[in-house]
Structures are given as structure tokens and as C-alpha cells.
């Protein structure tokens, strides 16, 4: 029986690859190292990624470069309001030559599915992604088809208040491990974008870039991520965070019941166990990227906003600047209310 190498070794062995991937992404998405790391963490944690921002902020570029760098099959689907579920998952068509129904696979059968402007499609079409995202399989005409592994959905969306957008159903929002916002680049980065963009149009650099890691390497890294060790303290920290949200939710609702006044400091939806799981998984990936085989509360804090904010907020934040959004967000309030050293308050 072949002995699997300990996680520490895989972590260390993968460091070179990870640095390479990050470098490559950062050359395309300029001035956003933090977001790049989070996006990579999301993919390593086998979660789906939702990128929300204004048009023209580099959402698609990030999605694109992620797919190509990891060497995965990739297809982009532009979501519009007349898009039908069959356009995504595929359909059976009668072939007169063979007298049989033949399956025309939709774009979902790629390893990376880029759902561009997902919230412009109707909720029905959005829901077509549900099964694929949760179960990694699709059913067409009653036949279940396995999807390739690894499988990611990277979706981009415009902020909700934009014209012609449908809000994503909560169930679907919950299936995205992270929701990222890129935000405006700083002066230096923007200058560089302006400089490089004129050269790049002809060269199509991003498309031509060869993959940095093979699929097998990627799968090995994903397995290593799930094996990262978690201490009891970190588990309690995660539990404490989700409990704060649940307590805030229940006290909020009961107060509404009684006197019609809302006096709760934090008003949010409660975090589900799926959210806690996603939080743990994402934190593991962050530890992995950080060259550690164990999670620190730092990892949890680093991913908490992107993993939980879209599950917590009662209504979409309309603040444009993501940095401002974060500092005033519910997620930040919850983080601030839990003692890191003694999360359950013994």
C-alpha cells in the first residue's frame, strides 16, 4: 500500500506552483494581490466564485486568467434575460441519420464555466446552475450526467441596482463559496493598465498563456487543502462567528414581534452550517496558500468577509467602494464581536 505523503510535504512542494500561479494572475489583474489570492483560495477549496462589480472593473479578466492558468477547459456564457436553461446544460436532439436522440452538451460540461453577468438571466435560468453547482452533475431529459472534475463556476454579476438585473435566489447565492469585489485600481495600477492594454490587444497575452499547473497537480492540491489540520480553537472560533449571526437574527426577529422596534445592533440573516463549512474550507485553502498545514484564526478572518457577507446581508449594499463596504459590513461587525483567543467566551 503506497503511503500518501504527509500534508506538510505537499504544502511545501506546492509552494512553487502557487507562487507561479499568483504571479501570473497578478500580471493580468493588476494591483489586486489580495483579491487574486482569495480567488485562488476559492478554487483550491473547490468552491464556486461570484465576482460582483461594476462593468469594466476586470471581472471577466480575472475569471479568464484563473481558468487558463490552471489549465482547465473553459467556456464563457454570456447570460441575457432571454437565456434558457437548455442553453446552459444542453439538450437532446433527434438525429435523423441514426434515428436516435443525441445529447448536445451545453457549456456547463466544461471544467470552468464562466457565467458572465449571471444576474441578467431570469431566475429560472439561474436555477439551472443549481444542481450542477451543488452536486457536480446535471440531469437532461431524466438522465444524469456527471460533470468533469475539477469543476468550477465562476460567475460575474453587476450590482443589483443596475438596470435589467434579477436578484440571485438566496439558495443560489448560498452555493457560491465566495463573493468577490475587485474595486477600483489605485493610481499606479491604473496607469499600468492603461499602458499595457494598448499593447495587449493584438498579442492576446492572457489567451496564449500556457497553463502553470497540470490538472493532476491541481487535484492533488485540492486534496491537500481538505487535509489541512484544524485545531479545536479554530473550530470554536468558526462556530462562535456563526452563532453570533444566529443570535443576532433571533433577537432581531423577536424584538420585531414584541414592540415593533428594531434595536438589535447587528441585523443579519443567520449563517447556515453550509456557510460554516465553506468558511472552514476557504480558511484551509488560505492556510495552504500561506504555506501552512494548519489554520490560524488569521485565515478565517481573511476569508470571512468574502465567504459570509453575501449570506449575511439583509439587502444588497449599495456602497460602491468595496473597501468602505467591508469596514462597515455586518461581517466586520460579527468579526469584531468575537474574542479570538477565547471564542465561546469561557
Partner 1 sequence: MMLFKKKKKQLSKGTSGNVNSKTRSNFYLSRQNTWLLWLCQCLNIAVVAMELSTWMLTIIALSLAWQALLLQQNSDRATTSRGKHPGTVQSNLANKRHSHGLSKQLTTNVSPVVLGIFALLGCVAIALTAKQVGILLSMVHLLCFSYALKGFELRTRRDFYQLLLLGLFILASALIFRQDLAFSLIIFSLLILNLTVLLQFFSSEKAFATNLKVVVVLLGQSALLAMVLFLVFPRLSPFWQVPFAKSAETGLSDTVKPGDIANLTRSTKLAFRADFGTQKVPDYAQLYWRAIVLENYDGRQWRRQNKVTTNNTAARSIIFDASNTEVLPLTYQVFVEASFQKYLFALAPAVVTGNTSGITAQTDYTIQSSTIISQAKSYRLTSYLTAPLALELSPQSRQINLSYPQGSNPRLEQLALQLQHNYVDVQARAQAVLTLINQQNYSYTLQPPLLINNSLDQFFFDSQAGFCVHYASAFTFLMRASGIPARLVTGYLGGEYNGVTAEVNSAGKIVNKGHLSIYQYDAHAWSEIWVAGKGWLRIDPTGAVDPQRVNIGWSNQLLQEQAELNNSFFSLYRMKNITWLNTLRLQFDALDYQWTRWVIGFTSQQQYDLLKHWFGKMVPWKLALIIAVTLVLSMLMLMLLLHWLNRPKVKKQTFAQWQIIYHKAIDRLAKQGIEKPLAMTVNDFAKKIRQQCPELAIVFTRLSASYNRLCYQTLSISEQEKQAVTMQQQYHHFIQVLKNSDKKHL
Sites of contact with partner 1 (CB under 8 A)? 229, 231, 233-234, 254, 256-262, 293-298, 301, 335-341, 344-346
Residue pair 51/182 in contact by the 8 Å Cβ criterion: yes
Decide whether 70 or 240 has the Cβ nearer to partner 1. 240
Q: How far is the CB of 41 from partner 1 (least distance, A)?
A: 17
Residue pair 139/131 in contact by the 8 Å Cβ criterion: yes
Angle at 29 between CA 25 and CA 78, to 5 degrees: 95
Decide whether 141 or 265 has the Cβ nearer to partner 1. 265
By C-alpha distance, which of 125, 123, 127, 119 is closest to 85?
Answer: 125
Q: How far is the CB of 19 from partner 1 (least distance, A)?
A: 20
By C-alpha distance, which of 344, 130, 85, 113 is closest to 238?
Answer: 344
Q: Which three cell numbers stand for residue 251?
A: 433577537
Question: Other CB atoms closer than 10 Å to residue 108's CB: what's the count?
Answer: 26
Q: How far is the CB of 306 from partner 1 (least distance, A)?
A: 17
Measured distance CA(337)–CA(42) in Å, rounded:
25
Q: How far is the CB of 83 from partner 1 (least distance, A)?
A: 31
Decide whether 96 or 258 has the Cβ nearer to partner 1. 258
SS3 labels along 165-192:
CCCCCHHHHHHEEEEECCCCCCHHHHHH
Residue pair 148/73 in contact by the 8 Å Cβ criterion: yes
For 148, left (φ over 0), alpha (ψ -120 to 50), or beta? beta
Decide whether 206 or 234 has the Cβ nearer to partner 1. 234
Decide whether 144 or 253 has the Cβ nearer to partner 1. 253
Measured distance CA(14)–CA(228) in Å, rounded:
13
Decide whether 318 or 336 has the Cβ nearer to partner 1. 336
Decide whether 43 or 241 has the Cβ nearer to partner 1. 241
Q: How far is the CB of 255 from partner 1 (least distance, A)?
A: 9
Phi, psi of 65 (to 5 degrees): -70, -35
Measured distance CA(59)–CA(54) in Å, rounded:
9
Q: How far is the CB of 148 from partner 1 (least distance, A)?
A: 34
Decide whether 9 or 146 has the Cβ nearer to partner 1. 9
By C-alpha distance, which of 17, 203, 166, 13 is closest to 83?
Answer: 166
Amino acid at each position: 500500500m503506497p503511503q500518501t505523503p504527509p500534508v506538510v510535504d505537499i504544502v511545501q512542494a506546492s509552494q512553487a506552483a502557487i507562487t507561479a500561479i499568483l504571479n501570473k494572475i497578478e500580471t493580468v489583474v493588476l494591483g489586486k494581490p489580495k483579491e487574486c489570492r482569495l480567488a485562488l483560495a476559492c478554487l483550491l477549496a473547490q468552491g464556486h466564485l461570484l465576482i460582483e462589480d461594476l462593468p469594466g472593473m476586470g471581472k471577466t479578466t480575472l475569471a479568464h486568467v484563473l481558468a487558463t492558468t490552471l489549465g482547465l477547459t473553459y467556456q464563457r456564457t454570456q447570460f441575457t434575460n432571454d437565456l434558457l436553461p437548455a442553453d446552459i446544460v444542453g439538450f437532446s436532439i433527434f438525429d435523423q441519420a441514426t434515428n436516435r436522440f443525441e445529447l448536445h452538451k451545453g457549456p456547463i460540461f466544461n471544467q470552468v464555466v464562466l457565467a458572465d453577468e449571471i444576474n441578467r438571466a431570469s431566475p429560472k435560468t439561474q436555477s439551472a446552475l443549481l444542481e450542477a453547482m451543488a452536486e457536480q452533475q446535471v440531469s437532461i431529459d431524466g438522465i444524469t450526467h456527471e460533470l468533469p472534475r475539477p469543476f468550477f463556476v465562476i460567475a460575474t454579476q453587476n450590482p443589483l441596482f443596475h438596470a435589467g438585473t434579477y436578484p440571485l435566489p438566496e439558495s443560489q447565492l448560498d452555493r457560491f463559496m465566495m463573493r468577490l469585489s475587485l474595486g477600483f485600481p489605485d493610481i499606479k495600477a491604473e496607469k499600468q493598465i492603461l499602458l499595457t492594454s494598448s499593447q495587449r490587444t493584438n498579442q492576446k497575452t492572457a489567451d496564449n498563456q500556457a497553463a502553470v499547473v497540470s490538472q493532476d497537480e491541481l487535484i492533488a492540491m485540492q486534496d491537500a487543502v481538505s487535509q489541512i489540520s484544524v485545531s479545536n480553537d479554530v473550530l470554536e472560533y468558526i462556530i462562535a462567528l456563526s452563532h453570533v449571526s444566529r443570535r443576532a437574527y433571533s433577537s432581531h426577529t423577536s424584538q420585531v414581534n414584541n414592540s415593533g422596534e428594531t434595536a438589535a445592533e447587528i441585523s443579519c440573516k443567520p449563517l447556515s452550517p453550509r456557510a460554516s463549512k465553506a468558511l472552514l474550507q476557504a480558511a484551509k485553502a488560505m492556510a495552504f496558500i500561506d504555506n501552512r498545514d494548519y489554520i490560524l484564526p488569521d485565515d478565517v478572518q481573511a476569508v470571512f468577509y468574502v465567504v459570509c457577507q453575501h449570506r449575511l446581508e439583509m439587502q444588497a449594499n449599495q456602497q460602491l467602494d468595496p473597501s468602505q463596504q467591508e469596514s462597515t459590513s455586518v461581517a466586520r461587525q460579527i468579526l469584531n464581536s468575537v474574542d479570538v483567543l477565547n471564542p465561546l467566551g469561557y
